[in-house]
DNA sequence: CGTAGATGTCGAAGCGCTTCGACTAAGCGT
DNA sequence: ACGCTTAGTCGAAGCGCTTCGACATCTACG
């Protein structure tokens, strides 16, 4: 394997000049640069990443801290990881995976101290997350995907649950729906302080109340059967319901099946809108689900970009980015009862 | 940040002794070791990963080569990546992600030459994969997840499509089914040389023929609508069909919906068995899908374990591991027409 | 009792790069 | 014509570790 020394000899210059030609830290004469380039081409030279890291005290590696995920986010999570890795690569960085639980603080600290990573991307951030405290004490730059309860001073990018829920409600209200329930993640996720569950729930409550509409929220385990059970319960307790906002893909499938089993036609009689989902999942149902898709790719790219800026010291303002889910209106949302000539839609077209 | 020098001074020994205490390469006296340990604890010392790598010429980093995945494997792929990262961490290795297309050979070569990774795990291997050729020429150890057309000399772990398909057929045949179709991935994946499509297709053909049963195979895009269309076509062309083996989650959901729309009760009239899937996906349907789940976790662990063995030089035999999918019999497979008192099941209970 | 082989420790030489200080040769304003 | 900045280059000193050779002790065995 060719080293910088080999290149230097072949080009008839010193190693430091080769280094400057490579990094651009100091100017290099045009002819010299050409000879160096030729030597590198001839030898097929690639700089040794490790040696470079040791000497420069910059590894160009960022770590992704992700608790092994049980929640059904899988599709989005993979998208996120992939896009983060791509964004890193575009900037000459590498992404390493650290599959460590939220509470394995000691392990995380040890890993940080090995100085393998210049910075850390934190996934699945809880409202109160011990890893964040650790990182604040360390000198390692970090960016949160998600956010703690008090994220003011911290770089973070998260789903804009509030805007997403508002848009979901708007979409249904414009279609004439007034009696809308929210089918969320499990009650356990709520008590565990899982950000999405809590933030989306609060937003749903607020935006429905703002419109003087009744607030109906159900927590539900992530399975089709749990979704069915919840719909059965709702059919009994909320007979005038005409639409469902869901944030739980597995339950959504069950819920739709159960609605149809109750003789509801979708979307003629009943609308379903799944948020923090994806068109891919939407395509798995029939009628094709109207979804609001999680911005996994955007979050990945943004988080990496911001983290690298911070590492390289070009960033002063903390990153506070909230990205709403994108609406992909398909076949499970349609005009509600008020649109059937009874009343005009409250807003819009 | 404490260095090994600090530890050595505090413990009153030389750095080399500290190094030996840490690596165990040479024996260290009991009392000395205790003093070193105490010094490390007191300083909160963690060895610098980069310096260690440079000196030892071993980075303890393995790279995961994965083409950005379009196919619907997402759930399994994430499982795979996670388990690979965990297995690596358990052995003191790090996993870095290299999101590079199958054909980006130059990029892959450059990355390899940077010597960041001691070894490479290759995902989404095609029957004829240029990356494999590249790796064979390089000196970097590698393990395939999947396999090429001629994988004899290469370390690889893959799904045992043959055993999986055979078990799927057995399961249905034992239940009394005789007319079984196979719903596979797209025709495009077949012509592109996508291993799973081709191997599963060949196995289905063989095992059905072995049982003197008709071979019905349909390729289908990965969406519910495509699945529905295929079922409509089958209803016309293969009216006596009583069971479906599927390898395409999105299409499976559509297929089931269409079957029910045709008045087929599942599993009373018609059985569906989804292979290379997962119980999690199975739980999204009602009735709950009988699945054969892809061994993502096992493949990840196995691939990493074998790769590390090879890196460390403890492995002589090439890894040739084929793991079948696990059957999780749920509610979409039931007795076929022959079990209705007409004929006894061909085998088993 | 002599000595071959462990055992235990140290100092020094790198690993392949970056970066600092120093130096020379131009180019510039005044 | 004078210093002064800038461009361009070099040599050497590390970055924080591992590993090699050397050496001093200690044990065991014929």
Decide if A81 and B98 are in contact by the 8 Å CB cutoff.
Answer: no
Tell which of A56, A82, A106 to mutate to test the B interface (max B CBs under 10 Å): A82
pLDDT tens per residue across span A232-258:
999 999 999 999 999 999 999 999 989
Per-residue confidence (pLDDT) for residue A71, from 0 to 100? 55
Mean pLDDT in residue range B116-127? 95
Decide if A97 and B98 are in contact by the 8 Å CB cutoff.
Answer: no
Per-residue confidence (pLDDT) for residue A349, from 0 to 100? 40
Pick the CATH number of B161-293+328-339 from 3.40.50.2300, 1.10.760.10, 1.10.10.10, 3.30.40.10: 3.40.50.2300
CB A336 within 8 Å of CB A269: no
pLDDT tens per residue across span A210-236:
999 999 999 999 888 899 999 999 999
Partners of A301 on chain B (C-beta within 8 Å) are: none
| Residues of B (10-69) whose Cβ lies below 8 Å from A | 44, 46-51, 53-54, 59, 61, 66, 68-69
Phi, psi of B161 (to 5 degrees): -65, -35
> Percent of chain A at pLDDT above 90?
82
Tokens describing residue B258: 């269409």
The CA distance from A297 to A290, in Å, is 20
pLDDT tens per residue across span A276-299:
999 888 888 878 899 999 999 999
CB B280 within 8 Å of CB B118: no
User: Which helix (H) or strand (E) segment is A200 a member of?
Assistant: helix A195-210
CB B171 within 8 Å of CB B349: no
| Dmax (CA) of chain A | 87
pLDDT tens per residue across span A86-97:
999 999 999 999
CA of A21 to C1' of C2 (A): 64
Candidates B110, B112, B154; CA nearest to B129 is B154
Mean pLDDT, chain B, rounded, equals 92
Per-residue confidence (pLDDT) for residue A203, from 0 to 100? 98
In the predicted structure, residue B101 carries a pLDDT above the cut 60: yes
For residue B349, name the pLDDT band (cuts at 50, 70, 90).
Answer: very low
Mean pLDDT in residue range A65-93? 83
A316 touches chain B (CB under 8 A): no
pLDDT tens per residue across span B145-181:
999 999 999 999 999 999 999 999 999 999 999 999 9
CATH of domain A4-47: 1.10.260.40
Query: Among A160-164, A335-339, B191-195, whose mean pLDDT is lowest?
Result: A335-339
pLDDT tens per residue across span B128-141:
999 999 999 999 99
> Residue B194: is it exposed, middle or buried by C-beta count within 10 angstroms (0-12/13-18/19+)?
buried
Per-residue confidence (pLDDT) for residue B339, from 0 to 100? 54
B257 closest CB neighbour out of A48, A81, A286: A286
Tokens describing residue B216: 């019905």
Size of interface A-B (CB pairs under 8 A): 154
Q: Is the dihedral of CA A332, A333, A335, A338 positive or negative?
A: positive
Residue A53's nearest nucleotide, by CA–C1', is: C17
Query: Among A195-199, A305-309, B64-68, B171-175, whose mean pLDDT is lowest?
Result: B64-68
Shortest Cα–Cα distance, B61 to chain A (Å):
9
In this complex, which residue's CA is closest to the C1' atom of nucleotide C14? Answer: B55
CA of A210 to C1' of C11 (A): 77
DSSP A81-130: HHHHHHHHHHTT-EEEEE---TT-HHHHHHHHHTT--SEEEE-S--SS-H
CATH superfamily name and code, A61-159+296-325: Response regulator (3.40.50.2300)
Q: Who has greater pLDDT, A67 or A65?
A: A65
Q: Does domain B61-159+296-324 have CATH number 3.30.70.360?
A: no
CA of B55 to C1' of C14 (A): 8
B1 touches chain A (CB under 8 A): yes
Phi, psi of B330 (to 5 degrees): -120, -140
For residue B315, name the pLDDT band (cuts at 50, 70, 90).
Answer: confident
A78 closest CB neighbour out of B78, B113, B283: B78
Residues contacting residue A185 through CB under 8 Å, at least 6 positions apart: A71, A194, A196, A197, A219, A220, A222, A247, A248
Per-residue confidence (pLDDT) for residue A240, from 0 to 100? 93
In this complex, which residue's CA is closest to the C1' atom of nucleotide D7? Answer: A27
The answer to whether A4-47 and A61-159+296-325 have equal CATH topology is no
Tokens describing residue B165: 């398909």
In the predicted structure, residue A343 carries a pLDDT above the cut 50: no
Per-residue confidence (pLDDT) for residue A23, from 0 to 100? 95
Query: Among A65-69, A148-152, A325-329, B89-93, whose mean pLDDT is lowest?
Result: A65-69
- Residue A326 DSSP SS3: strand
Tokens describing residue B281: 């996906």
Shortest Cα–Cα distance, B45 to chain A (Å):
8
CA of A7 to C1' of C27 (A): 31
Partners of A113 on chain B (C-beta within 8 Å) are: 1, 44, 46
Tokens describing residue A255: 């819920």
Mean pLDDT in residue range A91-108? 95
| Residues of A (273-302) whose Cβ lies below 8 Å from B | 280, 283-286, 288
| Residues of A (111-130) whose Cβ lies below 8 Å from B | 113-116
Q: Fill in the DSSP letter of residue A149.
A: S
pLDDT tens per residue across span B32-62:
999 999 999 999 999 999 999 999 999 999 9
CA of B114 to C1' of C21 (A): 30
Mean pLDDT in residue range B237-259? 94
Q: Fill in the DSSP letter of residue A151.
A: -
| Domains in chain A: boundaries | 4-47, 61-159+296-325, 161-293+328-339
Cis status of the peptide bond prior to A180, with omega within 30 of 0? no
> Residue B69: is it exposed, middle or buried by C-beta count within 10 angstroms (0-12/13-18/19+)?
middle
Q: Who has greater pLDDT, A333 or B76?
A: A333
Partners of B253 on chain A (C-beta within 8 Å) are: 253, 284-286
Q: Strand pairing partners for B122?
A: B65, B144
Edge-to-edge order in the sheet of strand B326-328: B216-219, B180-184, B243-246, B271-277, B290-293, B326-328
B50 closest CB neighbour out of A53, A223, A288: A53
Tell which of B4, B65, B138, B283 to mutate to test the A interface (max A CBs under 10 Å): B283
In the predicted structure, residue B344 carries a pLDDT above the cut 50: no
């Amino acid at each position: 394997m060719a080293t910088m020394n080999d290149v230097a000899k072949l080009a008839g210059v010193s190693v430091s000049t080769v280094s400057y030609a490579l990094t651009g830290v100091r100017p290099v004469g045009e002819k010299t640069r050409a000879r160096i380039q030729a030597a590198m081409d001839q030898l097929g030279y690639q700089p040794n990443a490790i040696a470079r890291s040791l000497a420069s005290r910059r590894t160009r590696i960022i770590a992704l801290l992700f608790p092994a995920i049980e929640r059904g986010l899988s599709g989005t999570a993979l998208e996120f990881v992939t896009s983060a890795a791509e964004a890193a690569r575009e900037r000459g960085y590498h992404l390493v995976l650290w599959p460590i639980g939220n509470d394995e603080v000691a392990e995380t600290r040890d890993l940080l101290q090995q100085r393998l990573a210049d910075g850390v991307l934190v996934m699945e951030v809880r409202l109160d997350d011990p890893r964040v405290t650790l990182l604040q004490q360390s000198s390692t730059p970090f960016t949160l995907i998600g956010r703690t309860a008090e994220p003011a001073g911290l770089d973070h990018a998260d789903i804009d649950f509030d805007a997403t829920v508002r848009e979901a409600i708007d979409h249904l209200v414009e279609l004439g729906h007034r009696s809308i329930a929210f089918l969320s993640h499990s009650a356990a996720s709520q008590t565990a302080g899982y950000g999405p569950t809590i933030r989306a729930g609060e937003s749903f409550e607020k935006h429905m109340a703002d419109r003087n509409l009744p607030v109906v929220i159900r927590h539900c385990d992530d399975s089709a059967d749990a979704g069915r059970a919840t719909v059965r319960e709702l059919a009994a307790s909320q007979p005038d319901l005409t639409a469902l906002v869901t944030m739980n893909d597995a339950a959504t499938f069950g819920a739709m099946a159960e609605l149809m089993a109750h003789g509801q036609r979708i979307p003629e009689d009943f609308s379903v809108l799944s948020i923090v989902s994806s068109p891919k999942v939407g395509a798995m149902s029939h009628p094709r689900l109207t979804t609001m898709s999680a911005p996994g790719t955007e979050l990945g790219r943004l988080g990496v970009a911001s983290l690298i800026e911070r590492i390289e010291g070009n960033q002063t303002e903390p990153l506070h980015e909230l990205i709403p889910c994108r609406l992909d209106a398909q076949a499970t949302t349609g005009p509600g009862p008020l649109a059937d000539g009874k009343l005009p839609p409250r807003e819009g077209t």
